[in-house]
Structure 1
């Protein structure tokens, strides 16, 4: 048994902490097994462990950009926010697969987000969560939810659906038969 203790500078931490452990061969050896490592520094074993620091609801990846510059001439140029993501890979890490762009040209809106205005954040996150949940349900991600890693896109969507509805079947029924109630339930679930 071996105990390793690490001290991490809190100012360098964010939403997730990843620990990678490797066991390396210290010196060159001549093992009896022809498949065994022989050279010093050969990797004998490796494990990676990721854990959330901020609980189940990590900070959403956001960026403030000028839509009139970056999205000039596009239909969403005057929108206050844009969610950029692709539903093609539900297993991808959420923080690498989704990004929320805030329109720097809408200074009052950006200021409200930065000041953490509750209604502004609720409206914005309600829209974002609803977009992702609706897309996932229509795409039939049901099987992906059961085996999804919590940090994946499907894992985040499953978490959000669990906050708003009793189960995925209830969420699907609400989306298909009562879309207004579906969106309102999502909106209520993201209230800060």
Structure 2
């Protein structure tokens, strides 16, 4: 019997380990089933979405992107006369709510003002909470404050200012230098 003692010990430990793994698997499966029980009903889901300014759509509803909405809106202004002549239940057109307009996300504000003593334009730009380096760079580029967007982003990344951008309203000159812009947006106004 002493000869088979190590074999029997190994067999016993293996059975105990398998039982433990099986128990853990069953506990995990029970937790997964518990998550299924905690699903929200449609009304609860709609209420939660409403608190976050979101809307719940059915799977079969057609939803448009912002670009599609703008395109449809642009076509609608040009083709009002043709729509009045056409049948109202055309299957090609998506159903658009009449009284709802899509909400645009809040964008940083900017103002262009000219100083009486200088011939260059001064641009006021507000950096909002949560704005990323790319957001700020894109907006400043569109306002002609940044001359070369790629060069600005490379320099800003080299200086590692991604998390140093301060919120507030800043004044920039058009075609201002990269280092001057970086210095301004990384110090509180």
In the superposition, the TM-score normalised over structure 1's length comes to 0.24
Higher Cα radius of gyration: 2
In the superposition, the TM-score normalised over structure 2's length comes to 0.24
Decide which structure has greater helix share.
2
Structure of higher RCO (CA pairs closer than 8 Å, 6+ residues apart): 1
